[in-house]
Structure 1
Amino acid sequence: MTEPTIARPNHAESVVASSWSEIQELLFAESWVPEIGRFRSRYAYRGLSDASYPLETTLMRLGGQYAQLERHLLRNFRKYAHRRVVERDSVWHWLSVAQHYGLPTRLMDWTYSPFAALHFATAHVDKINRDGVIWGVNYIDAHRMAPDLLRTRLDLEGANVFTVEMLSETVTSLSAFDRLSDAPFTIFFEPPSIDDRIINQFAFFSLSSDPTLSMDQWLSDYPTIWRRIIIPAELKWEIRDKLDQSNITERVFFPGLEGLTAWLKRHYSPRT
């Protein structure tokens, strides 16, 4: 079996999707894995409602001397949060929980699901008249730039991405992680299944060794490992309606009343 012939995006540039069907081709491009004979994309996806948004972490958006504040934020979160919120007392478990509950961290949310990314690129009605974007980063290629210690651990596990357990057993602190290499690097890891939101969003995180370096700045040095798909504003309503009919909605990604009310508010918003 061979992969179908489809258009390949130029990874050094953004690709503007022209239709719903082309978006599907672009999102699932390069998903064929001949070693296993299956379609399994190796990309992490992130959808943004405005194509002009940079790939900045919530820690960066805090502003001020945010890099110096990082350890204080995490220390106090660990001090005041209930111990039962983490399954193990490691920095990687605490970082995952802190990010999940909205604390500014150097982590960035990604998803294995291109449709989840497409949802987040089109879910904000107030941004419906602006071009959206979906970023895709090949996490296997990203890990080839990681320090030897981390690459060796992945190889021993036969894994493509890290888990918090793997990180906990390999690097004990953020400062030790940052010192693994003089050159900035980025890895991807899966958080523990804290609740249904993480599971339903098929979520995982990126982690940079330099909290002051945005992901798009880092990626600019590695043009072959990423793609950037622009979602034109004029396509957003069509995409949004088709995602809703496919049950790709807030009700799925944010189980509970919060997701229900967000879905209802958007679903009944007029197209003006």
Structure 2
Amino acid sequence: MITEVAEIQSLANYIESMEIAPLFGNKVLFRGQPVKGNLLPSVAREDKTKDTTHFEKHALEQMRLIGSSLLSPKDEDDWHAIVKAQHHGLKTRCLDWTSNPMVALWFACSNSPEVDSYVYMLVADRAALPDKTKSPFEQEHVCILQPNYESPRVSAQHGWLTIHNYSNGQFTPLEDSKKEQLWLCEYLIPKRIKAEILISLDRCGINQSTIFPDLDGLCGYLNGKFT
């Protein structure tokens, strides 16, 4: 359920708006995206009523078999494997978040310049933690997870995940959740200020090369800066 909606006018206005975050609790997460709502993991966005559990389990097993030379023994554990799969682009029941609101703002503004974007703030102090005695496919509630920072990208992005459950015939978008443990605030980033915000973020050291701290990120950043 969305408890607050606001329109951002500038980077300074955004920073001021984020000052309320600590008032909500210690575990406040952010997500930036170029679409309104639809806060669902990638595996559920085309059809939230489809039970994808069998597909997800099969995809993880194929990842282990075909990509065995790229994995470690820890990836035999479903929790470890699903985090790695999400990081490398496999469709899973995980949704990416960050504990850094500036990173979320960069993601909101860096794609689709022709449309408005959104940052969502998730207050998760009372959210369920995973029951690690069960697999990610057996959780009874949406839960939050801070993954191991094995990848420089995850570390640079201050990554967190929500793990979504299939129940009552669907995956429920977070904005439609009736769970009191999950509070959402929505911030509209108008398309007219997105380019200006990216310039301001770059001056503050938030850009493609710092959010993706590898050669791909650096080259992408230089393409945008010099071409």
TM range (shorter): 0.7 to 0.9
Q: 1:85 Cα deviation (Å)?
A: 2.4
Match of 2:177 among 198, 219, 233: 219
Q: 1:41 to 1:17 in 2, by over 3 A?
A: farther
- Amino acid of the structure 1 residue aligned with 2:42: T
Distance 1:195 1:107 in 2: 17
Deviates more, 1:57-66 or 1:12-21: 57-66
* Equivalent of 1:28 in 19, 31, 36: 19
The structure number with the bigger radius of gyration is 1
1:94 aligned onto 2:70: no
Call closer, same or farther: CA 1:75–1:24 in 2, change over 3 Å: same
30 and 56 in structure 1: CA distance in 2 versus 1, 3 angstrom threshold: closer
The count of corresponding residues between Structure 1 and Structure 2 is 222
Matches of 1:97 and 1:224, distance apart in 2: 25
State the match for 2:149 in structure 1.
193
The aligned counterpart of 1:131 is 116
Superposition deviation, residue 214 in structure 1: 4.0
How far apart, CA to CA, are the structure 2 residues paired with 1:71 and 1:244?
A: 40
Unaligned runs of 5+ in 1: 1-9, 34-39, 144-149, 151-161
Query: Is the CA contact (8 Å cut-off) linking 1:86 and 1:94 kept in structure 2?
Result: no
Q: Which residue of 1 aligns with 2:71?
A: 85
Check 1:238–1:128 CA distance in 2 against 1; reply closer, same or farther (3 A cut). same
Q: Equivalent residue for 1:173?
A: 135
Give TM-score, length-normalised by structure 2. Answer: 0.85
Measured at CA, do residues 69 and 221 of structure 1 come closer, stay the same or move farther in structure 2, by a change above 3 Å?
same
Change (3 A) 1:66 1:249: farther
Q: Would the aligned equivalents of 1:11 and 1:224 in 2 still touch at CA under 8 Å?
A: no
Distance 2:35 2:12 in 1: 20
Alpha-carbon distance in structure 2 between the residues aligned to 1:101 and 1:120? 17
Alignment of 1:229-268 (within 5 A): 229-268=187-226
Q: 1:69 is matched with which residue: 36, 55, 64?
A: 55
Q: How far apart, in 2, do the equivalents of 1:62 and 1:262 lie? A: 29
Distance 2:175 2:195 in 1: 31
Aligned to 1:14: 5
Greater relative CO, 1 or 2 (CA 8 Å, sep 6+): 2
Aligned to 2:125: 140
Deviation at 1:171, TM superposition (A): 1.8
TM-score (norm 1): 0.72
Change (3 A) 1:138 1:206: same
Give the 3-state SS of the residue equivalent to 1:247 in structure 2.
coil
Kindly, what percent of the aligned residue pairs are identical? 22
Give 5+ residue unaligned stretches, structure 2. none
1:50-106 alpha-carbon deviations (Å, 9 max, x no partner): 233521212124669561412211221122222662462311001011111111100
Change over 3 Å in CA distance of 1:75–1:60 after alignment to 2: same
Q: Is this contact kept in 1: 2:126–2:181, CA < 8 A?
A: no
For 2:73 and 2:152, how far apart are their aligned partners in 1? 16
Q: Return the offset for 1:44.
A: 0.9
RMSD: 2.8
Matching residue of 1:156: none
